[in-house]
Amino acid sequence: MDAPALEIDRVSHAFGKRRALDDVSLTVPAGRFVALLGPNGAGKTTLFSLATRLYTTREGRVRIFGHDLAREPSAALAELGVVFQSRTLDLDLSVRQNLAYHAALHGLAGRPARARIVHLLALVGLGERADEKVRTLSGGQARRVEIARALIHRPRLLLLDEATVGLDLESRSAIVAIVRRLVEEERLAVLWATHIFDEVRADDEIYVLDKGRIIAHGTAGEVTGAHLARPKPEDMPSGATAALEAAFRAMIAARAEDAA
Ligand SMILES: Nc1ncnc2c1ncn2[C@@H]1O[C@H](COP(=O)(O)OP(=O)(O)OP(=O)(O)O)[C@@H](O)[C@H]1O
């Protein structure tokens, strides 16, 4: 059996006195889509920064396909692709140039690099825009280039931090569909961080992060059921997305009451 794509094992992280992550554990199995749901400030970006070794993990362990990130960083990071929340493409280079530059950083050049770029741009539906400057693309298209770029070295795990933030509904749906297809067809493992409920399906495995702690884990359907046991009639949600959102609000409210 494959080692899990990602194991976050009892990880904590503080910025000075502010504890951004507190004893967080989560697992993304190989070839699976897992969502990390949390409001702004929950700690999602901090978790991504630790999983990509931007920050050093001082408490707890991160393993990628069984490779300990602290002890075997090269082997671990070779399996990892990441799309950060903030945009990082060079706007004045073409789509192809952006990808070629990134390929070179991974030691991929010449014909194999060119072929990989063509393949990935087709995968994200941008084959025809390869020679246009990134500046001419829409926000959603630029995000799709970032997904292609993150996959250039054939990682088996992709982390996406609020990849659809600021995009219109149509662009968001296109990106979610591309990522889900990569999971189904290419057996890519994905950790999808979001605070947008309609990106999560009832049968998706989710972790709910709030104020640095995992407060719920299960399928979205299970989490919704557990936290909406006694909904008030006026709160009865009309669909799966609304149900998850209502459950989420119930959890956060319960935690706020406990803290008071
Ligand atoms: N570099 C930093 N220095 C100090 N505090 C930080 C730093 N980065 C994050 N924090 C704090 O850590 C907590 C978690 O922030 P983080 O950015 O990880 O959350 P998030 O879930 O990604 O939210 P968002 O979606 O708004 O980015 C917040 O209280 C934030 O203010």
Residues 191 and 218 in one domain: yes
Residues 26 and 121 in one domain: no
CB distance 40 to ligand 1 below 6 Å? yes
Nearest-CA residue for atom 25 of ligand 1: 40
Q: 19 and 126: one domain?
A: no
Whether 236 is in a domain gets the answer: no
Residue 127 in any domain: the answer is yes
Paired sense of beta strands 205-210 and 213-219, if any: antiparallel
| Model confidence band, residue 238 (pLDDT cutoffs 50, 70, 90) | low
Considering the domain architecture, whether residues 177 and 143 belong to the same structural domain is answered as no
pLDDT digits 0-9 by tens, 26-50: 999 999 999 999 988 899 999 999 9
pLDDT reported for residue 118: 96
**Dist. CA 46 → ligand 1 center (Å):** 6
Cα distances (Å, whole numbers) of residue 143 to 68, 124, 250: 29, 10, 32
Residue 215 resides in a domain: yes
Domain with 216, as residue range(s), is: 1-79+158-226
Does residue 258 lie within any of the structural domains?
Answer: no
- Identify whether residues 165 and 96 lie together within a single domain: no
pLDDT band at 250 (very low <50, low <70, confident <90, very high): confident
Domain match, 104 and 197 both: no
User: To the nearest whole percent, how much of the chain has pLDDT over 70?
Assistant: 90
Q: Is the CB of 18 under 6 A from ligand 1?
A: yes
Whether ligand 1 lies within 6 angstroms of the CB of 38 is answered as: yes
Instruction: Give the pLDDT of residue 239.
Output: 58
pLDDT, tens digit, 9 for 90 and up, residues 70-116? 999 999 999 999 999 888 899 999 999 999 999 999 999 999 999 99
Number of domains within the chain: 2
Q: Is the CB of 44 under 6 A from ligand 1?
A: yes
Among 131, 154, 177, identify where a domain stops.
154
64, pLDDT greater than 80: yes
Say if residue 24 is in the same domain as residue 75: yes
Task: Assign 228 a pLDDT band (cuts: 50, 70, 90).
Answer: low
Is 92 within a domain? yes
Check pocket membership of 42 for ligand 1, CB cut-off 6 A. yes
Q: Which atom of ligand 1 is nearest to the CA of 85?
A: 27
Domain end call among 135, 154, 173: 154
Ligand 1 centroid from CA 41, angstroms: 5
Q: Indicate whether 161 pLDDT > 70.
A: yes
Strand 157-161 to 189-194 pairing? parallel
Judge if 162 and 145 occupy the same domain: no
CB 12 within 8 A of CB 180: no
**Strand-by-strand arrangement of the 213-219 sheet:** 80-83, 157-161, 189-194, 33-37, 205-210, 213-219
CA 70, 159, 6, 188 dihedral sign is negative
Residue 236 above 50 pLDDT? no
Q: In the listed set 139, 154, 169, which residue is the last one of a domain according to the structure?
A: 154
| Closest residue CA from atom 6 of ligand 1 | 15
Provide the pLDDT for residue 249.
Answer: 74
- For residue 106, is it within any domain? yes
Based on the fold, state whether residues 72 and 1 are members of the same structural domain: yes
Q: What is the rounded distance in angstroms from the CA atom of residue 130 to the CA atom of residue 233?
A: 52
Are 45 and 143 members of one domain? no
| Spacing, Cα 49 to ligand 1 middle (Å) | 10
Domain assignment of residue 195, yes or no: yes
Chain centroid offset of residue 177 CA: 14
pLDDT for the residue 23: 97
Residue 234 lies in a domain: no
Residue nearest to atom 7 of ligand 1 (CA): 15
Q: Where residue 59 sits, what CATH number does that domain have? A: 3.40.50.300
User: Which residue has the least CA distance to atom 12 on ligand 1?
Assistant: 20
Question: Are both 129 and 163 inside the same structural domain?
Answer: no
Q: What are phi and psi of 74, to 5 degrees?
A: -65, -45
Residue 154's contacts (CB-CB under 8 Å, 6 or more residues apart) are: none
ipTM for the complex shown: 0.94
The verdict on 143 and 24 lying in the same domain is no
